[in-house]
Amino acid sequence: MPELPEVETIVQGLKTTLSQQKIEQVRIYDSKLAKMLAGKQITGKRIVNIRRRGKYIIFELNEGLNLIVHLRMSGRLLYQQNERKPLRWVRAVIKLDNGLLVFQDRRRLGVMELSRSDDLNCRLGVEPLSPEFDSDYLGQKLAAGKRPIKVFLMDQAIIAGIGNIYAQEILFAAGIHPRRQALSLGDNEIERLGEAIRNVLRLAIRHQGTTVSDFQNADGTEGNFQNLLKIYGREKEPCLICQTPIKRIKQQGRTTYFCEQCQK
């Protein structure tokens, strides 16, 4: 599933190109999306801005409308200047006055909906790269957390945008075991964790996200951060720090990789 760095990469790729473009036509090829957008009219609206909130892409339209897209497991948004040969798994095509925005989704799990309010703020926690995310906020939330720290990091109501891959990379960078109870972290560990969150996410954005399966940028290119992953997907390989073989466990049905020597 695209996480914060992948979604930010897509937003950055689309923002300059799509800003101020007019929506001339919307073609829906999936009954699920048709139901989500039933009775809603965005033809004729103009894209005023594109931004990210957590893992959501928000197209701000004129007249106070927001078109909200969540890519889920396998969704892609691709920008094309001209109609090309048919693509697989296309769920919707938005024709603009200068190009097309194509929504591909192999598993049909992605969401596309319209809203007149920014109700995402009610559902999502603080952005981890915002000034509001500091040691005080993190410490306050951790103090009430009895769950494993990896599960805590993936709670979108606390920190918006972190998923399975980056939670593991963050915990490795911070030297914290993924099974540790969130409330067990001391002050120094909280500082390390906050720094690791910011550093890992910023580095991943600079490298245009991680492609291990479906992720592509809006121009069809893949990310590069998979070449810099230090822990994810490296079971039985030597730890890059201590050479101990990397272990794998399951947490809430998700695979977790960690080093038992470096992460305490």
pLDDT digits (tens, 9 = 90+) for 37-75: 877 789 999 999 999 999 999 999 998 999 999 999 899
Residue at 84 is within a domain = yes
**Statement to judge: residues 211 and 236 lie in one domain:** yes
pLDDT of residue 213: 83
**Statement to judge: residues 146 and 115 lie in one domain:** no
Q: Considering only CA atoms, which of 179, 150, 167, 191 is closest in space to residue 264?
A: 179
Q: Is the pLDDT of residue 181 over 80?
A: yes
Q: List the catalytic residues.
A: 2-3, 55, 254
pLDDT of residue 56: 97
**Statement to judge: residues 185 and 100 lie in one domain:** no
pLDDT digits (tens, 9 = 90+) for 74-121: 999 999 988 776 788 999 999 999 999 999 999 999 999 999 887 898
Q: What is the SS3 string spanning the chain?
A: CCCHHHHHHHHHHHHHHHCCCEEEEEEECCHHHHHHCCCCCCCCCEEEEEEEECCEEEEEEHHHCEEEEECCCCEEEEEECCCCCCCCCEEEEEEECCEEEEEEECCCCCEEEEECCCCHHHHCCECCCCCCCCHHHHHHHHHCCCCEHHHHHCCCCCECCCCHHHHHHHHHHHCCCCCCEHHHCCHHHHHHHHHHHHHHHHHHHHCCCCCCCCCCCCCCCCCCHHHHCCCCCCCCCECCCCCCECEEEEECCEEEEECCCCCC
Model confidence at 150, pLDDT cuts 50, 70, 90, reads very high
Buried b (16+ CB within 10 A) or exposed e, 116-139: eeeebeeebbbbbeeeebeeebbb
Q: Is the pLDDT of residue 258 over 90?
A: yes
Residue at 79 is within a domain = yes
**Statement to judge: residues 72 and 92 lie in one domain:** yes
pLDDT of residue 83: 79
Q: How many domains does the chain have?
A: 2
Mean pLDDT of 152-169: 98
Which CATH number does the domain housing residue 118 bear?
3.20.190.10
Mean pLDDT of 221-242: 97
Average pLDDT score over the chain: 95
Are 38 and 28 a contacting pair, CB within 8 Å? no
pLDDT digits (tens, 9 = 90+) for 183-223: 999 999 999 999 999 999 999 999 999 998 889 999 999 99
pLDDT of residue 40: 76
**Statement to judge: residues 102 and 139 lie in one domain:** no
Instruction: Mark which of 123, 153, 175 sits at the end of a domain.
Output: 123
Model confidence at 264, pLDDT cuts 50, 70, 90, reads very high
Instruction: Mark which of 123, 149, 172 sits at the end of a domain.
Output: 123
Q: Which domain holds residue 89?
A: 4-123
Residue at 177 is within a domain = yes
Model's pTM, two decimal places?
Answer: 0.95
